[in-house]
Structure 1
C-alpha cells in the first residue's frame, strides 16, 4: 500500500548541513588557535592549515554525522511506528517517514565512512609535520600511517564499520533492520571511545568507561533531536508521541553526560588548573553549553511539548536553535581530544597504572576479595540501572512473583560485586582471577538473570495494542533471530565456541588482555553468550518452538563435558598464555605465572558445578511440569475416547435389539 499525505514540508538537509558546518568551524578554529603551542611542545613541524584546521573540522563534522545516523535509526525504530502486517512487528515495513529517516541514517553513515578514510592521511600529516598534499596522494604514506599511527588504524575501523552500517541500511526497509542499524551506529563510535586521552595514563579504566557513557549519551541526545526536528519539519505523523518518548531519552542522556563528564574531567584536571590551561577553558565552555541545552530541554518539557499539536512551529524553532547549540558543543568537545591536558595528577605512574589504570599491592586472597573495592563504571552501572528499571516495572504488575524479582536482583548484584570487588580489580593482572570472573559472568550471572523472566515482566507492565516496549518484547520473542539462537544446537555451539576461541587462540587472548577495550569486549561476550545459552535452557520467558525439557536436559549433558574439558586442557598446558603482558605489569609479589594459569584451569573445571545445581533443578522441575501436563492431556483424551466408544457400543446394541 502506498502512503499519500498532503502537507507542506520543509527540507531537513539545511539543518543537517548547518549543524555539521557549525561543529566543523568551531572545532577547527579552536584547535587552530592552540595548534602552535601544541606543535612546539611536541617538536613537530607545522603541517599547514589543511591539517591543523582540517583534521579537527572533519572530526567535528564526523561527530554530527554519527549523531545524525544514530538519531535517524532511533526515530525509525523506536519513535514512530512502522506499518504492521500482523500481530507483532515481525515483517513490519517502514512508513514513508520511517523510510526517510532510515535513508538519512544511511547517508550519514556513508559520510562517516568517507571522513574516516580521509582521516588516515590527515593523522599522518598531523603527527609527522608533513603537509597534507604530500601524503594524501601517496599510497606509501597511507600504508605508513596504518602501520605506524594508532589513530589511523582506529579511523580505518570506524570507516569499515560505518560503511557496513550504510550498506545494510540502504538495502533494508523492515522495522527489525532499523533496530540492527541503530545498534550498529553505536558500535561505529566505540573505537573512538576506547582511544584518546581517556584511554591512557592513570585511572584510564574510569576515563574510558565514562567516555563510553558520555559519547553514547551524546549520540542519543544530539542525533535524536536532529531526527525529531527533521520529522517535525516534514510534518510527520505521531509527532507528539515521538516527542514525549524522545524527551525521556533526552532527560536520561543529559544526566549521563553531566555525570560522566564530571568523572572524566576529575581524573585528569585539578580544579585549580581549569582556568590556567587551554584544556580547562574549553572544558568550561563545553559545560556552559550543556547547561544551556539542559535549560532549553526543560523549556521543551514544560512549554512546547504540552502545546505541540496546537503550535508545532514553536517546537521546530526552538529545536533548530537547540541543534545549533548542540553542534557548537560537539565542536568544542572535539577540540578536547587535540588540546594538551594539564599536567597529570600523578606524574610518577607505575607500570600497573599505565597498563591497568591502578596499582595492586598483593595477590588476590579471600580477605582482599571483599575488602578492596574500585567502582567499575560500565557493566556495574548497567546492572544497577537494570535493577532499578525491573523494580519499577514489578511495582506496576499486580501479583508479580517476588521470587523472580529476587533472582533478577541477585544477578545484578553479582555483576556489581564481581567487577567492583578485589576480584574484579585483580582480573587484568591474574589469569586465575580472569577465569573466575569469566565463569561468574558466563555461568553465574546469566542463570540468575534469566530466572527473573524480564521479557515476561515487560509484557505485563505495558498495555497491549500500542507501539511500546511490550510490542517490542513480543516481537523479539517471536522473531526469526530468537528461533535461530534458541535452537539447542546453535545455543550450545555459540556458548562453547566463544569460550574456546577466546582462550585457545593465544594471539587473540594476548590482544584482549593487554587493552582495556579487550576487557570490555570479553565481559560483554561472556554475559551475552551465557544469557542466550541459559535463557534457552531454563528461562521462564516464552520462546516459540522451544524444545521440551527432556531435550534441553540432554543437550546440557552433552555440552557440559566439552565446557569442563577446557579446564583440564589449561591445567595440563605447559606454556604461559599472555606471559609478555603479565610480566610487563611488574607485579610486586612476582607470581608463578604457570601455577596461576593451572589454578585458572582448575577454576574453569570446578566452578561450573555451582550454577549447574540450579540449572538441573529448574530443568527437572520443568520436566515434571511437562510430564504432568502430558498425563492430564492423555487422561482427558482417553476419557473422551472412552465416552465415544461407549456411545457407539450402546448404539450398536440398540440396532441389534431393533432387529
Structure 2
C-alpha cells in the first residue's frame, strides 16, 4: 500500500465529515442566529462540530473494541494495538463530550460566557439537575472510564464488559436525541440509539483496519476483513432500518422531503446506498482478489473512498441534529392525560379484534427477532448442507417462539400495556412462560456449537463466546435449578412491589430491560426443567416435578395477592390515564392478577407433561442400555448377582 494512502485515509474521513457538517448547517439553517437569545457563533457552530467529534471518537472506541472481541487474537500484536487505539479514541471522546455539554449549557440557558461564580453555579446545576446536562455528564464519565480501562484491561473475557460499558454511552445520548414531549418518543429513542451504535461499529471497524494496516500481513488481512465484513453487513441492515424509522418520525409525509431537513435526509440516504454498494464490492470482489494475491494498494484506495462517504454521512447526521424538523418536536397545546404521561394519544377501546390488528413496532425487538430467526435457520441449513441431521420439531418450535415474541413486543398487547395493567400482565406472563416453553426445545446453544465454524487462531467468534458463556461459573450458578426457580418466582415480587415497576413502566429503557429480564428468567427456569442444551446441574425427574409444582404454587399465590389488593400499584399512572372505556383501573388490576394466577396453569400443565414424557423416555433408554449390556456380556451382571445370593443362602444354612 502506498505510504500516502496510509496517511490520508483517516484524514479524508475527518475532512469529509467537517465539510459535510458545515455545508449541512449552512443549507439547513442549523447554525443560523435565532431571533431571540443568540448564544453566539461559537456555540451555534461549535456545538454540532463537537457533537461530530463525539460520534467519530465513539466510532473509534467501539470499532476497535468490537474487532478486538470478535476478530483479533490476543496472542498477536494487532490486539494490543487495537486497544491502544480504542484508549486514544476514548480520551478524545471524553474531551469532546465535555465540550459538547458545555456548549449545550450555553445554548439552552443563554448564559453568556464568563469565569465568574454565577456561570459555574449554573453549569453545575445543569449537569446535575437537568436531564440534558446529566446525559452529557454521563457520556463524559463513561468515556473517561473506558479510557482508563482500555489501558488497564487486556484480558479477552474482561474486555467484553469494557465494550458493553462503551456501548452504554449511547443510552444517554439516545434519550436526549428526541423530545420526550413529542409523539413517538420511545420509537425515536430506540431507533436513534441503534443508529448511532451500529454506525459507530461499522465506521470504527474500518478505521481500525487502516490504523492496524502495518501489523496485518496479506493473509491475516483477508481473515480479519472477512470477519469485519460480516459485522459490517449486520451494522448496515440496522443502520438502514433505524435510519428509516428516524426519518419517518421527523419528516412525516413525502411532501416534507422538499424541506431543508428532508433534502439532508435524502443526501444521507444516497450516501448510505453508496456505502451499501461498497459493502457488496468488498464482500464479493475485493476479498476474493486479495485471496488470490491481488494488489493491496487498490483495496486501500477503495477503503479510503469508503471512508470519505462515511465522513459525509457522519457530517450530515450532525447537521440534521441541529436542523428544524418538519414534524414539530413539541407537545400538543392541550394534551390529554394519556399524552402527558406517555407522549402518545390514548388508543381506542380494547377489543379482541384490536389485539391482532393494532401494532406498535419496537425496532429493537423487530430486529432482534429477525436476526434470531435468520441465524437459527442459517445454522440448520448449514448442518443439512453437510449431511448432519437436525430435528424438524426443534426448528418449528423455535420459529413459533420467535413469532410469539415478535407479536408480544410489537402487536396489540404492546399497544395497550402502557394503559392497562391487565395487558401489561398478559405480556409479562407470555414472555416469562409461553415464549421460553417454545424456545428452549429449539436448543440454540447446541445448534450454534455444531453449526458455527471453530476458530483456530486464538480469536473468539460466536461459537467460542457462546460456549465460554455457557460453561462459565456465572452460568453454572444462574442455571442451577434452584437458583433459576428462585429468580423466576421472587423476581415477580421484587419487580411489582419495588420502584423497579415504576421505572420499567415510565421509562423506555426500563421497559426494554423488563422484557429482557422476564424473558431470560423464564428461559432459565424452563431450561432447568426440560432443556436440551448443556448445563452443569440437572435434577432427577421426580425433583423436577416437585420444583415445578412448588414454583408455580408460589406464582399462583402472587396472582391471588394482586387480585385481593384494594389499591393501585401505580395510581398516578394507570389511574390517571383518563380512560373512559373498559374496566376501572382497580378492576383492571384485579383482572391482571387473575391472569397471573390462571394463565400460568396452562404452561405448568404442558411443562409437567413434557417432564413426564422425558422421564418415561429416560427410563426406556436406561432399560435398552441395560438390555444391550446384558446381550454383550451374556447376562454377566445377572449371573454375578444370582451367585452372590446363592453364597448368602449357603452361609445362612451353615449357621447354627
Change (3 A) 1:139 1:620: farther
Q: Distance in 1 between matches of 2:33 and 2:513?
A: 33
**Distance in 1, Cα, partners of 2:480 & 2:443:** 19
Distance 1:95 1:513, change over 3 A: same
Partner of 2:66: 74
Equivalent positions of 1:156-175 (< 5 A) are 156-175=137-156
Q: Is the Cα contact below 8 Å between 2:552 and 2:604 reproduced in 1?
A: no
| 1:233-268 deviation line (CA, Å, top 9, x unaligned) | 432563212212222332333233233322321232
- Aligned partner of 1:653 in structure 2 is none
Counterparts of 2:545 and 2:350, CA distance in 1: 36
Match of 1:149 in 2: 130
Q: Indicate yes or no: 2:350 matched with 1:364.
A: yes
Give 3-state SS (helix, strand or coil) of 1:77's partner: helix
- Does 1:429 pair with 2:419? yes
2:175 to 184, 191, 194: 194
Q: Whose RCO is larger (CA < 8 A, sep 6+)?
A: 2
Give the Å deviation of 1:434.
0.7
Tell me the equivalent position of 2:593. Answer: 601
Query: Which residue matches 2:309?
Result: 325
**Which stretch shifts more, 604-613 or 341-350?**
341-350
CA 1:168 to 1:338, structure 2 compared with 1: closer, same or farther past 3 Å? same
Q: Secondary structure at the match of 2:34?
A: helix
SS at match of 2:551: helix
**Match for residue 39 of structure 1?**
34
1:290 matched to 2:272? The reply is: yes
After superposition, the Cα gap between the structure-2 partners of 1:121 and 1:416, relative to the gap in structure 1 and judged at 3 Å, is: same
- 1:272 is aligned to 255
After TM superposition, give the deviation of residue 454 of structure 1 in Å: 0.9
| Equivalent pair of 2:12/2:304 in contact (CA under 8 Å) | no
Q: Partners of 1:546 and 1:100 in 2: how far apart? A: 44
CA deviation string 1:518-570 (max 9, x = no partner): 32222222222322332333221112344444454444344334433332332
Instruction: Say whether the 8 Å CA contact 1:428–1:434 is kept in structure 2.
Output: yes
Q: Is the 8 A contact 2:339 2:346 kept in 1?
A: no
Partner of 2:564: 572
Question: Which of the residues 319, 332, 347 maps onto 1:335?
Answer: 319
Give 1:130 shift.
1.6
Q: Does structure 1 residue 54 correspond to structure 2 residue 46?
A: yes
Equivalent residue number for residue 480 of structure 1: 473
Residue 359 (structure 2) pairs with residue 373 (structure 1): yes
Match in the other structure for 1:512 = 504
- Please name the residue that 1:392 is paired with: 378
Mark the runs of 5 or more structure 2 residues left unpaired by the alignment: 647-656
Given that 1:169 and 1:177 are in contact with CA atoms closer than 8 Å, whether structure 2 keeps it comes out as: no
**Distance in 2 between the 1:643 and 1:254 partners?**
69
Give the Å deviation of 1:21: 6.9
By how many angstroms is 1:437 displaced?
Answer: 0.5
The residue aligned with 1:459 is: 449
2:653 aligns with: none
Tell me which residue corresponds to 1:312: 296
Greater Cα shift, 122-131 or 283-292: 283-292
Pairing 1:251–2:243 present:
no
Other structure's SS at 1:620 match: helix
Which structure 1 segments of 5+ residues have no match? 1-6, 83-92, 651-659
Cα pair 1:67 1:223 within 8 Å, conserved: yes
- Secondary structure of the 1:47 match is coil
Give yes or no for contact 2:47–2:100 (8 Å, CA) kept in 1: yes
Higher mean alpha-carbon deviation, 517-526 vs 548-557, is at: 548-557
Given the alignment, which residue of 485, 488, 494 partners 1:492? 485
Equivalent positions of 1:579-594 (< 5 A) are 579-589=571-581, 591-594=583-586
Q: For 1:362-421, what per-residue CA distance to the aligned partner results, in whole angstroms no more than 9, with x for missing partners?
A: 433323222333433321332133223222222232321111111101111111222333
Quick one: structure 1 residues 459 and 35, their matched pair in 2 at CA, closer, same or farther if it must change by over 3 Å?
Answer: closer
Q: Is the 8 A contact 2:5 2:301 kept in 1?
A: no
C-alpha distance in structure 2 between counterparts of 1:136 and 1:52, whole Å: 24
Partner of 2:528: 536
Q: How far 1:449 sits from its partner (Å)?
A: 0.8
Aligned counterparts of 1:215 and 1:383: Cα–Cα separation in 2: 20
What are the Cα deviations for residues 261-297 of structure 1, in whole angstroms up to 9, with x where unaligned?
22321232133233333x2233233223223323333
Cα contact 2:111–2:119 (8 A) shared by 1: no
Structure 2: how far apart are the matches of 1:393 and 1:136?
A: 63
Residues 469/146 of structure 1: CA separation in 2 closer, same or farther (3 Å cut):
closer
Question: Which residue is equivalent to 1:89?
Answer: none
Which residue number in structure 2 is paired with residue 4 of structure 1?
A: none
Q: Deviations over 1:333-374 (max 9, x none)?
A: 122222221244996785445654644444333232223334
TM-superposed deviation, 1:462: 3.4
Which piece of structure 1 moves more, 451-460 or 19-28? 19-28
Aligned CA distance change for structure 1 residues 28 and 534 (closer, same or farther; 3 Å): farther
Structure 2 residue matching 1:339: 3-state secondary structure: coil
TM-superposition CA deviations, 1:607-634 (whole Å, max 9, x none)? 2222222322333334444555666778
How big is each residue's C-alpha offset from its partner over 1:489-528, in whole Å with a ceiling of 9 and x where there is no partner? 433333344433331113x322332233332222222222
What is the CA distance between 1:74 and its match in structure 2?
Answer: 1.6
CA contact (8 A) 1:233 1:316 kept: no
Measured in 2, the distance between the counterparts of 1:418 and 1:384 equals: 14
Conserved in 1, the CA contact under 8 Å of 2:350 and 2:582?
no
Q: Which of 399, 405, 417 does residue 415 from structure 1 map onto?
A: 405
**Which shows bigger deviation, 217-226 or 472-481?**
472-481
Contact 2:32 2:44 in 1 (8 A): no
Does residue 241 of structure 1 match 2:223? Answer: yes
- Pick closer, same or farther for the CA change 1:554–1:28 going to 2, 3 Å: farther
Q: Contact 2:426 / 2:595 at 8 angstroms: preserved in 1?
A: yes
TM-score (normalised: structure 1):
0.84
Q: Distance in 2 between matches of 1:220 and 1:391?
A: 25
Deviation per residue, 1:302-335 (Å, 9 max, x gap): 4422222532232223223322431332122122
